[in-house]
């Protein structure tokens, strides 16, 4: 059983059995000149081949339009001039300056490197501005506590951000005065914004009462709506005062 298909490869034309007798010779090819089917001789054959079908009219190749609702380009539409990746202003990569001069004439390589430059440029800008992350007044808010940890400061999240930045900026100087009256006064001033009053006993008072030798008083006058935590001030005093000294805090609201 043999099936013959049409030119489109789908529609069957003849379907049936073709049997050949054993040893049968192939059918003879009929001479077109003898049968009168066309021009005779070699000239007639050449003329038939030189003449296109349809009496000499040109034949256009078949054009099949795309199905409705579809376009030939289905990918993302390009933007800009089609030469520069998004986010890159120049038409050539600046990475070429790091390559030998022979590569500078290759326009394709210049455009190809723009792909990597557009990906790595945020990292490059960060590294070029790395010094700003160590400036307490410029670093992003999420980096403030991290920067304070480099200086050994434990910053309470209840502290206002501005005061935490001021404290980090003054940390190196405060460490030189840690455990002294001046150091404690500066620390409290940076946090509260108010100059504290630190009262120490005189020599006469200590001579009359030896128990007052290592005791002092911190007095701070604050507005009622200042929102300053007493517990937080006490924690600052405990961290900055000498370990053997005792302190009395007087927080006066006005």
Residues 211-231 have pLDDT tens digits of 888 899 999 998 887 778 888
- Compute the average pLDDT of residues 152-166: 84
SS3 (DSSP) at 252: strand
- Asked if 169 and 226 sit in the same domain, the reply is no
Cβ atoms < 10 Å from Cβ of 186: 19
End residue of a domain, out of 147, 176, 205: 176
d(CA 202, CA 183): 20
45, part of any domain: no
Residue 53 vs residue 179, higher pLDDT: 179
pLDDT at res. 40: 46
**Structurally, how many domains does the chain consist of?**
3
End residue of a domain, out of 176, 210, 235: 176
For residue 45, what pLDDT band results from cuts at 50, 70 and 90? Answer: very low
48, part of any domain: no
Q: Outline where DSSP puts E strands in the chain.
A: 2-5, 12-16, 197-199, 215-222, 246-253
CATH at residue 240: 3.30.300.90
201, part of any domain: yes
165, part of any domain: yes
pLDDT in tens, 50-104: 444 455 554 454 545 545 554 443 434 444 555 555 555 566 788 888 888 888 8
- Asked if 171 and 182 sit in the same domain, the reply is no
Enclosing domain of residue 108: 94-128
The DSSP letter of residue 23 is: T
2, part of any domain: no
d(CA 199, CA 183): 14
147, part of any domain: yes
Q: What's the pTM value of the predicted model, to 2 decimals?
A: 0.49
- Asked if 187 and 254 sit in the same domain, the reply is yes
- Asked if 123 and 171 sit in the same domain, the reply is no
186, part of any domain: yes
CA distances 206 to 200, 203, 211, Å, are 10, 5, 7
Percent of the chain with pLDDT over 70: 64
SS3 (DSSP) at 137: coil
CA distances 107 to 76, 95, 132, Å, are 24, 13, 36
CA–CA–CA angle 89, 94, 98 (5° rounding): 170
End residue of a domain, out of 118, 150, 176: 176
Integer distance in angstroms from the first to the last C-alpha of the chain? 112
18, part of any domain: no
């Amino acid at each position: 059983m043999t099936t013959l298909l049409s030119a489109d490869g789908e529609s069957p034309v003849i379907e049936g059995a073709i049997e050949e007798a054993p040893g049968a010779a192939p059918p003879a090819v009929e001479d077109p000149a003898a049968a009168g089917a066309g021009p005779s001789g070699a000239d007639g054959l050449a003329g038939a081949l030189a003449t296109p079908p349809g009496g000499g009219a040109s034949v256009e190749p078949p054009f099949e339009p795309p199905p409705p609702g579809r376009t030939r380009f289905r990918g993302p539409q390009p933007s800009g001039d089609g030469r520069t990746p998004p986010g890159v202003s120049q038409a050539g990569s600046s990475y070429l300056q790091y390559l030998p001069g022979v590569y500078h004439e290759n326009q394709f390589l210049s455009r190809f490197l723009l792909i990597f430059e557009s990906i790595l440029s945020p990292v490059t800008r960060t590294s070029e501005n790395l010094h700003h992350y160590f400036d307490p007044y410029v670093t992003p808010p999420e980096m403030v506590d991290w920067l304070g940890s480099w200086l050994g400061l434990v910053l309470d999240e209840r502290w206002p951000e501005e005061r935490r930045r001021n404290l980090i900026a003054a940390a190196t100087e405060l460490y030189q005065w840690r455990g002294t009256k001046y150091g404690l006064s500066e620390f409290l001033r940076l946090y509260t914004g108010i100059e504290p009053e630190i009262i120490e006993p005189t020599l006469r008072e200590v001579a009359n009462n030896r128990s007052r030798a290592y005791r002092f008083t911190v007095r701070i006058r604050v507005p009622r709506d200042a929102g300053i935590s007493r517990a937080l001030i006490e924690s600052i005093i405990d961290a900055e005062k000498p370990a053997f000294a005792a302190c009395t805090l007087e927080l006066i609201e006005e």
